[in-house]
Amino acid sequence: GTMIEVPGAVALADKLAEECDFFSIGTNDLIQYCLAVDRVNERTAHLYEPTHMGVLRLIKQTLDAAKKADIPCTICGEMAGDPMLTELLLGMGAQSLSMSGGSLPMVRAEIANTKMPSAKRLARKVLDLGSASEIRSLLEDRHEQRGTIKLYRDKQA
């Protein structure tokens, strides 16, 4: 298997999938290298954005390559443990999420409450939006309607 952590690996995902038994998408590094932003640098950390369209399209491209090659693909990193993103990631085709233990209860609850047809519609809608702020707003609105937004905002604080 291989870790997909840089945009160059995503560009080759279809070829890599022919040679690998599995993919793991390292979202922390993928975001950093896609956006050229160091999340621990105080001057640039505010630009580190998991819902950036470039990041989401790279993840989708990788998930699609894995599916086409019939190999498993795990989403790793902070995105996998963010319950605000769970439905979106599932709708994009994620079938496996790797996260810290503290994130498990909320992500597990999100998975249990996710209906796949709705998740797929959400993913299509998100991938048609233009900006991270639009995407974040859409996701927050969905969680506001479900009554989970306060819980997730408290977790992020």
Domain encompassing residue 147: 2-156
Q: Which CATH number characterizes residue 151's domain?
A: 3.20.20.60
Q: Give the residue ranges of the chain where pLDDT is below 70.
A: 150-157
CA angle 25, 46, 92 (to 5 degrees): 30
**E strands in 36-101:** 73-76, 96-98
Q: What pLDDT shows up at residue 153?
A: 63
Could you read off the pLDDT of 142-153 as tens digits, one per residue?
A: 988 887 776 666
Q: Assign 3 to helix, strand or coil.
A: strand
Q: What pLDDT shows up at residue 146?
A: 81
Joined together, the tokens standing for residue 80 give 């996998």
* Phi, psi values for residue 18, rounded to 5°: -70, -25
Q: Count structural domains, the chain.
A: 1
